[in-house]
Amino acid sequence: MNLPLTKKNILLGVTGGIAAYKSAELVRGLIKKNAVVRVAMTESAARFVTPLTFEVLSQNRVYMDMWEGDPKEIDHVTVAGESDVFIIAPATANTIGKISHGLADNLLTNLFLAFKGPVMICPSMNSNMYLNPAVQENLQILRERNTHLMEPDFGELACGDEGIGRMPDPDNIIQALECLLKKTGELSGKKVMITAGPTREFSDPVRFLSNPSSGKMGYALAEAAVARGAEVTLISGPSQLPKPAGSQVIHTVSADEMNHAVIDHIEGMDIAIMAAAVSDYKPASCQHEKIKKNREKLSMDLELTPDILDGLGKRNNGLFLVGFAAETGDLIENMKDKMLRKNCSLMVGNLVNSSHGGFGSDNNEIVIMGRGNGQVDKLPRMTKRQAAEKIFDRIVEEIKQ
């Protein structure tokens, strides 16, 4: 079996935190897994552990000084280009601040900007520093750019306090890295379409029918698909969320517009995930002028919108089709019914009437149901990004079968 780390070029960035001593163990562990390791350190990291330690353990030169080496070669561009993955462990608040804002005042931060592959960051610091909103906002910026963040552990910290901020054990980091490398490129060459967010069905120029969907689930799916190497087209209803890096985003407003965008872009897609909360009905007509408050009662004729998912299911052309079911009860029965009725390959369901997460929340408690083997996975509450990873794990598994 081809193990994920064998012969992989790992670039390890070490910044100046007390946990830098654990990075030496990390290098040893990676070498044991037959990876090729090159280390880049900041000057403050070298106050904790000497470059010689890393040089001996990695059997490679350590990169620290921007100004040494052959002037004809631009080290940071060459080294970045030759690496398969870049991991920064430990990552201090200072380095996190710099890389989230594109600052590059040392070799390590230059490497970060020059590197185009998957990046994993292991923040490690005192818990008050870690929880500081400035650090959390910087981490959020990195997350949104598809950087993989490994949450620090909870426990006793170097300062004697107890809290979150410890760098995870090297073995756990290596496991996470193996998982990342296994997934990276898993969907390369695949085209994925995702719908997200609500639709708006206008009754007059200032009023519409809609729902509280934020688009978070669909956007998280787009991020996860990009991270696995897919070419992603995200067709989004109105949403405040930033564009997921690396995807093509098409903005739509009504169900009709979303339907047209889906039909226009579906050719050549391998996977389509319909995560949008599409309005089932729209006002039969949209008034050109604002409807005035000049009567006691007002009723409105509604008509069906096109069912986008159903339309794709009817094409039946080898597309791996994923539907969503947001229900207030009988989740499993409704999911099964929708999956068969709309000819989906996979159905993702969640309850929307309780504390399970759902509309607008950062978390979700989902159930994944497959058509091929009928397997039902009931997952615990997790972030929408984690849920997106689980959905892609299952898609990849089903596609392979």
What DSSP character marks residue 32?
A: H
Can you tell me which of 86, 112, 219, 324 binds ligand CTP, judged by CB under 6 A? 324
Give yes or no for residue 338 binding ligand CTP (CB under 6 A).
Answer: yes
Beta bridge partners of 123: 91
Cis peptide before 168 (omega within 30 of 0): no
What DSSP character marks residue 50?
A: -
Pairing of strands 85-91, 119-123: parallel
Can you tell me which of 107, 325, 366, 367 binds ligand CTP, judged by CB under 6 A? 325
Amino acid at site 158: A
- Sequence-distant (6+) residues with CB within 8 A of 255 are 199, 201, 278, 279, 282, 305, 306, 308
**CB 203 to ligand CTP: min, Å:** 17
Between residues 54 and 324, which has the closer beta carbon with respect to ligand CTP? 324
159, 179, 286, 344: the catalytic one is 159
Pairing of strands 248-251, 85-91: unpaired
Q: What angle do CA 120, 76, 227 make, to 5 degrees?
A: 30
Q: Which two tokens stand for residue 187?
A: 């969907």
Can you tell me which of 309, 346, 366, 388 binds ligand CTP, judged by CB under 6 A? 309
Give yes or no for residue 192 binding ligand CTP (CB under 6 A).
Answer: no
| 159 counts as catalytic | yes
Helix (H) / strand (E) element for 12: namely strand 9-14
Give yes or no for residue 321 binding ligand CTP (CB under 6 A).
Answer: no
User: In 3-state terms, what secondary structure has residue 336?
Assistant: helix
Can you tell me which of 326, 352, 368, 391 binds ligand CTP, judged by CB under 6 A? 326
Binding-site string for ligand CTP from residue 249 to residue 288, where x marks contact by CB under 6 A and - marks none? ------x------------------x-x-x-x--------
Residue nearest to ligand CTP (CB): 308
**CB 200 to ligand CTP: min, Å:** 13
Can you tell me which of 25, 153, 178, 307 binds ligand CTP, judged by CB under 6 A? 307
Stretch that binds ligand CTP, among 19-27, 282-290, 324-332, 379-387 (CB under 6 A): 324-332
What DSSP character marks residue 61?
A: P
- Sequence-distant (6+) residues with CB within 8 A of 32 are none
**CB 231 to ligand CTP: min, Å:** 21
Give contact residues for ligand CTP (rule: CB under 6 A).
195, 255, 274, 276, 278, 280, 305, 307-309, 323-326, 338
Catalytic residue IDs: 159
